[in-house]
């Protein structure tokens, strides 16, 4: 396994582009992205659990019914959600992309992100789809990544190179996500591509299995979005024997997928709206995996814990409080807590009770940009990790006038 560059274009046979088409008023911000495979690819997706879903998700589900796709079109600035003509607009976006690429509309994944309840016109897409398709390039990942951003402060990309049965394969992706993020799914758009050969059924199995330990373990603000979607396209151009069942090749593919998804998870969590710190809660010693995941997510979801981390306050009682109401099967009298960062490590709780520690040293640890909250439940062998961010004044500022 090797970390490489290239994002969504790292894999063979994928091109991408991103431009400003006019959906967003700020002409300096790209707002329309296109990702294309040189040939039809196995496709899989997972979607938000919110009952209010954006029209693009409905259309994408229809298009992926056969487990195949060749392109992704995504706009930012408008979620195309809760609109009477939403399905018509989403299908129109697919048709415009298909016409520019010379492929069936049913092979196009459609995604949108931005303001909810605001009508989306196809005119900007229609006017610029030709130019967008002309800009498609194997070096276009960064432009596509920029075009899907909303309140994100920086692009999010990751890619790896790995071996499958003697063939070199690549897998990479781009993501957007900064606010309205909470399991399940953790709010975001993520597009992943790979040149590995894998059947649609196994690709869906891999993605559905992965999100439980990756994207569903992020929380920024407790709100689950209407437009969450993660898609994966696998075009098989690496030439490995197609993965059609579990085994060593499938395990290696899962490892590559998880390496990219975790990297994107950390990038999303660290770029939470108004955030100054990435929080990573690692729970060990749990009775089972379910307890470990519940406990870790509860800690990163705790507004009081997040606020304490913003203030570099080692208020470990808030961590225990979050564990106590999490619903996880645990014995609070066995819990240990430690804070760790690049500045060092400080133990603050042992066997459910406080221990003496230096407040000055603890503050140094918590002033870093990345904070680890290490929780040992002392009750088993299961472990899990969740990601979040601190809660700052700027979160309220950003969301107080997000629409206006």
Minimal CA–CA distance to 96: which of 124, 118, 135, 116?
124
Q: According to DSSP H, which parts of 103-232 are helical?
A: 123-134, 141-147, 200-211
User: Of the listed 60, 187, 305, 392, which one is catalytic?
Assistant: 187
Q: How far apart are CA 301 and CA 105, in angstroms?
A: 40
Count other Cβ atoms within 10 Å, centred on residue 374. Answer: 17
- What is the widest separation between alpha-carbon atoms in the chain? 68
Token readout for 92 is 């129109």
Number of Cα atoms under 13 Å in the Cβ half of residue 81: 22
Count other Cβ atoms within 10 Å, centred on residue 118. Answer: 14
Token readout for 293 is 């995941």
**Tally of residues, the chain:** 404
Give yes or no for a cis peptide into 255 (omega within 30° of 0).
Answer: no
187 assigned to active site: yes
Q: How far apart are CA 40 and CA 280, in angstroms?
A: 38
Token readout for 169 is 């394969």
DSSP 8-state code for residue 341:
E
DSSP 8-state code for residue 116:
T
Q: According to DSSP H, which parts of 354-392 are helical?
A: 359-366
> What residues are labeled active site?
187
């Amino acid at each position: 396994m090797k970390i490489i560059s290239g994002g969504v274009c790292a894999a063979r046979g994928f091109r991408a582009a991103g431009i400003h088409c006019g959906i967003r008023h700020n002409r300096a911000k790209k707002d329309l992205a296109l990702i294309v495979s040189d040939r039809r690819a196995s496709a899989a997706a997972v979607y938000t659990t919110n009952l209010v879903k954006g029209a693009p998700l409905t259309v994408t589900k229809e298009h992926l019914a056969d487990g195949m796709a060749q392109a992704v079109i995504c706009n930012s600035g408008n979620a195309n959600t809760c609109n009477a003509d939403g399905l018509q607009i989403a299908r129109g976006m697919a048709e415009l992309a298909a016409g520019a690429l010379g492929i069936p509309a049913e092979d196009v994944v459609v995604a949108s992100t931005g303001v909810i309840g605001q009508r989306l016109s196809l005119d900007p897409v229609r006017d610029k789809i030709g130019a967008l398709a002309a800009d498609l390039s194997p070096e276009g990942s960064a432009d596509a990544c920029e075009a899907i951003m909303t309140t994100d402060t920086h692009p999010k990309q990751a890619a790896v190179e790995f071996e499958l049965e003697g063939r070199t394969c690549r897998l990479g992706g781009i993501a957007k996500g900064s606010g309205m993020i909470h399991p399940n799914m953790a709010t975001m758009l993520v597009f992943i591509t790979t040149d590995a050969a894998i059947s649609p059924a196994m690709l869906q199995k891999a993605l559905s299995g992965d999100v439980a330990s990756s994207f569903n373990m992020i929380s920024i603000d407790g709100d689950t979005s209407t437009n969450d979607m993660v898609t994966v396209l696998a075009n098989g151009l690496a030439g490995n024997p197609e993965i059609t069942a579990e085994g060593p090749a499938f395990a290696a593919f899962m490892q590559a997928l998880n390496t990219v998804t975790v990297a994107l998870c950390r990038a999303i969590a660290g770029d939470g709206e108004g955030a100054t710190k990435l929080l990573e809660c690692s729970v060990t010693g749990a009775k089972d995996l379910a307890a470990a995941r519940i406990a870790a997510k509860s800690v990163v979801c705790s507004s009081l814990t997040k606020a304490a981390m913003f203030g570099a306050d080692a208020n470990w009682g808030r961590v225990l409080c979050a564990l106590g109401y999490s619903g996880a099967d645990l014995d609070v009298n066995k819990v240990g807590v430690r804070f760790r960062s690049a500045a060092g490590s400080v133990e603050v709780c042992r066997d459910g009770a406080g221990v003496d520690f230096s407040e000055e040293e603890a503050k140094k640890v918590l002033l870093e940009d990345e904070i680890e909250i290490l929780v040992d439940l002392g009750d088993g062998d299961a472990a899990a990790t969740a990601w979040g961010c601190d809660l700052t004044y700027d979160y309220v500022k950003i969301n107080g006038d997000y629409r206006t």
